[in-house]
Structure 1
Amino acid sequence: MAPTDQPYVIVGGGVAADKAARAIRERDPEADIAIYTESVYGPVYRPALSKDLWVGDKSDIASQDLGTAEVATLHTGVRVTDLDPDTKTVTLDSGEAVAYGKLLLATGASSANFFDEVDGAVLFRTAEDYEALRARVSEGTEVVIVGGGYIATEMAAALATVGAKVTVYFPGAKLLERLFPPKLLDIIETKYVDKGVTLVPDAFVSEVTEGPTLIFRNGDTVTADLVLLALGARLNTGLAEKAGLRMVDRAVEVDDHMRSSAPDVYVAGDLANYPDVRLGRRHVEHVDQAERTGALAGANMAGGDETYDYTPIFWSDMFDLGYEAVGDLNSSLTMREFHNEEDSSAVVWYLDDGNDVRGVLLWNTWGKTKVARQYLGKPAPADLGEIIIPGE
């Protein structure tokens, strides 16, 4: 059977896929664009899964649909099992082969999990994960979260907001200790405790069993109505590796046009390791990066010649605390803090050993990422505290 011929194929169903399809459509109005995604849903705005859908007026997934079906043909619930750049084909789980002219790989990441599957022990990343969890949570539901990072903290706030009884077990001394300086870590801890979330530091889970029950390294056990495993993410690199695409730092190497090492294969979103014009080669797993790289890849797939010169932002909300940030936030870097006690805002600069700016955290400080971005990759000025006035 001859392969189905598709000028544009996008593998993956997230925001990068949506932005790419729209960029292709803008440049090529008659384009035939096929999107293949394992999800039963089309692209949705995924940040809402751990934010707005829990605290806003709407809790249904449909409210976050990006409307991608208006610009592309969606093939949902379909897994792409193989990518062959030599023959320019992808193979679907049905066995069907699809020939492409240009292909975008935007498969993103999946939740990491180191434990056996157990009823009541859930992961959280996809629209399906949200629906499964939301259906099991109500006022008073006892939820145990394992992990102390980005998703763990957002979901602890979200679940507590809808009335769940939340306990967070994490291996470090403080939530988010790999990101922030001690003063902000204390503020975060106080906020969660005040909101009724129980925090258990220095907790190491060795096994998850029926119940669901956590068994800790010290022999203690805890049983809850639900266990949410927030253990980080793993990039979905399987297709890229099968295709022999050049990899770097666990991700797929791309140039400043989002082109991979294979002709006519582009990569966007979490999967892309790109040359940041300010900070050097890196990969970023946040929605702003997915949107921007998806749009640029799509434009170039349709004949554009755009280069990526943008350093993405990221943000988070934790109850009424929040931040925006650019660059690399890592507490192993030198951190210089400037706090405004009047409105509880702050700016934290992250400097490398050479005193160059690697990242800027804008804590309860909004609309300043453009200002902060221009200092990335440059020597830190002597007047850091005067550049971005917290709360201004």
Structure 2
Amino acid sequence: MSEQRRDEVRPAQRRVVVVGAGMAGVQTAVALREQGFDGSVTLIGAEPHQPYDRPPLSKAVLLGKAEGSAFDVDFESLGIDLRLGSEALGVRPADHVLDTEAGPVPYDVLVLATGAEPIRLPGAEGVPGVHLLRTLDDAERLRPVLARQHDVVVVGAGWIGAEFATAARDAGCAVTVVEAADRPLAGALPAEVAAPMAGWYADSGAELRTHTRVERVEPGAVVLDDGSRLPAGAVVVGIGARPATAWLTGSGVELGAHGEVVADAHLRTSARDVYAVGDCASFPSARYAERLLVHHWDNALQGPRTVAANIIGEPTDEPLEAYDPVPYFWSEQFGRFVQYAGHHGAADRMVWRGDGSGPAWTVCWLREDRLMALLAVGRPRDLAQGRKLIEAGTPMNPRLLTDPARPLKNATA
């Protein structure tokens, strides 16, 4: 990333424009006000709906137990100019202008918070009965599918695939999950950790087919690469997501190998006066000595506080805040509460607390004697204590860690 010099002092009434009205965008706008920013704040969202939280979409909203998940934010009283149904088309950093469907929007500081978008199944676009699950409209289209108890085929056994399969089984649907890899969560967890999770599908009455690729989707059926056909009243695609940044191509804002906005340790981009936060941006982690791209809710909640503090502090001599969180996420699937904290990529040792066969167990990853990450299934206390131990860099005793009856905080070196 090119070196970015700090702005000169600007007038008090600076204009901050936030593009993206999901968690990261909303929290950025709110954090600016909470931290005392008195300039103008404009929040621009592509969807026409009031800004909403996404996790309930695969749970309560999908099953008809809630009508929506709108954020409890009074934008008007906070002095936030909310502009919905206006897609971002491009940005001209040299002119400090954001181009949108509704026309150009000038800014003094721009925050990119456009999140991620689901990867589509090649050849399936336009086929009736094929669904994604990312937006409120997606969830609303899927609700009658579950209500009618269709035969459902889920493509992809990742986090979203497992959560949807859980909801579909709860609704009484027959569910088959097809996964190209040899196990669920192949891109997220080592084989020995994901192995116990494969049994959860059968326990719930869902069929999991690994080593299985989709050849094509037809109305009412999924044809697999071995020629077999699965009846499908609906097909739900959950094969991953990528940063929603195609609109930035050619803008001068640096994009990374995965299409994400490349941010620095302060969440500034390569373009002057432009920040990036949430699912659309990667950032360098001193804690893990690598660049992280985190597609999870907590990142979209925490990052905006750093962005707001740095926007407010930039015109002064206050040092900018670095962003280096312990990543965290959770998933509810097949009657289990799964939580993960940290990043295990650089770990050199894995320690089990429990053998994975029971309802509650934890896996810890260490680098030398430091806890780098943990996955807790039905053990929220392990997660809470482990997250603090990761943040503090506390030396651990691997032998004591193996005892699931011993609190993590009492397994230090």
TM-score under structure 1 normalisation? 0.87
The 5 Å alignment of 1:1-392 reads: 7-28=15-36, 30-54=38-62, 58-61=65-68, 63-67=69-73, 69-70=75-76, 71=78, 72-94=80-102, 96-113=103-120, 114-117=122-125, 118-180=127-189, 185-209=194-218, 211-250=219-258, 251-280=260-289, 281-303=291-313, 305-329=320-344, 334-339=349-354, 344-351=359-366, 357-373=371-387, 374-375=389-390, 381-383=396-398, 385-386=400-401, 389=404, 392=407
Is this contact kept in 1: 2:97–2:106, CA < 8 A? yes
CA-to-aligned-CA distance 1:230-273 (integer Å, 9 cap, x gap): 11111112233332122334222222221111111010001221
- RMSD of aligned alpha carbons: 3.0
CA 1:75–1:362 in 2, change beyond 3 Å: closer, same or farther? same
Is this contact kept in 1: 2:354–2:402, CA < 8 A? no
Is this contact kept in 2: 1:173–1:202, CA < 8 A? yes
Is this contact kept in 2: 1:356–1:378, CA < 8 A? yes
For 2:14 and 2:50, how far apart are their aligned partners in 1? Answer: 19
Cα distance, 1:14 vs structure 2: 0.7
Structure 2 gaps of 5+ residues are 1-12, 315-319, 408-413
For 2:74 and 2:179, how far apart are their aligned partners in 1? Answer: 38
CA-to-aligned-CA distance 1:284-323 (integer Å, 9 cap, x gap): 1100001111222123223364332322211111132122
For 1:390 and 1:288, how far apart are their aligned partners in 2? Answer: 28
For 1:343 and 1:201, how far apart are their aligned partners in 2? Answer: 23
Is this contact kept in 1: 2:221–2:233, CA < 8 A? no
Question: Secondary structure of the equivalent of 1:135?
Answer: helix
More off after superposition, 169-178 vs 198-207: 169-178
For 1:148 and 1:40, how far apart are their aligned partners in 2? Answer: 31
For 2:131 and 2:397, how far apart are their aligned partners in 1? Answer: 48
Is this contact kept in 2: 1:345–1:391, CA < 8 A? no
- Give the letter aligned to residue 150 of structure 1: W
Cα distance, 1:179 vs structure 2: 3.9
Is this contact kept in 2: 1:258–1:274, CA < 8 A? yes
For 1:301 and 1:101, how far apart are their aligned partners in 2? Answer: 10
- Give the letter aligned to residue 340 of structure 2: A
For 2:370 and 2:279, how far apart are their aligned partners in 1? Answer: 25
CA 1:384–1:246 in 2, change beyond 3 Å: closer, same or farther? farther
For 2:354 and 2:53, how far apart are their aligned partners in 1? Answer: 33
For 1:309 and 1:173, how far apart are their aligned partners in 2? Answer: 33
For 1:334 and 1:212, how far apart are their aligned partners in 2? Answer: 46
For 1:253 and 1:377, how far apart are their aligned partners in 2? Answer: 27
CA 1:273–1:131 in 2, change beyond 3 Å: closer, same or farther? same
- Give the letter aligned to residue 198 of structure 1: E
Question: Secondary structure of the equivalent of 2:75?
Answer: helix
Structure 1 gaps of 5+ residues are none
More off after superposition, 230-239 vs 371-380: 371-380
CA-to-aligned-CA distance 1:155-179 (integer Å, 9 cap, x gap): 1001111222211111123222444
Number of residue pairs matched? Answer: 383
More off after superposition, 212-221 vs 78-87: 212-221
For 1:157 and 1:219, how far apart are their aligned partners in 2? Answer: 27
- Give the letter aligned to residue 135 of structure 1: P
- Give the letter aligned to residue 142 of structure 2: L
TM-score under structure 2 normalisation? 0.83
